[in-house]
Amino acid sequence: MADGLGHVLFDVIDVNGDNEISREEYTRFLTDVWSLEEAEALQAFRTLDTDSDDTVSRPEFLQAIRQYFLLNDPDAPGSLFFGPA
């Protein structure tokens, strides 16, 4: 279930369809949909961008979704999927 949801959310956030989520796409998602402050959204993006290439790839995103739903570890990158608690 987490992977299916992850693929759908990835496609929604990846507005330009380049199979990567840019900083702008992710922060827009968190600020527009979840009403987070831009600084919080940027923090979440940097945490999910585990290879520091300034994009979130589909594998990075799916890993974060799995962590968010399946782990109880506040230090895992996926714990910030929807921004800080």
For position 42, which CATH number holds?
A: 1.10.238.10
pLDDT tens readout for residues 48-85: 999 999 999 999 999 888 887 777 777 666 666 655 55
Q: Write the CA distances from 79 to 15, 17, 47, 65, 72, integer angstroms.
A: 23, 25, 9, 9, 8
pLDDT for the residue numbered 77: 66
Confirm whether 85 is domain-assigned.
Answer: no
Confirm whether 64 is domain-assigned.
Answer: yes
Share of the chain above pLDDT 70, in %: 84
Model confidence at 25: pLDDT above 80:
yes
Number of structural domains in the chain: 1
Residue 47 CA to residue 28 CA, distance in Å, equals 16
Averaged pLDDT of the chain: 87
pLDDT for the residue numbered 84: 56
Whether the predicted model's global pTM rises above the 0.85 cut: no
Residue-range definition of the domain harbouring residue 66: 2-80
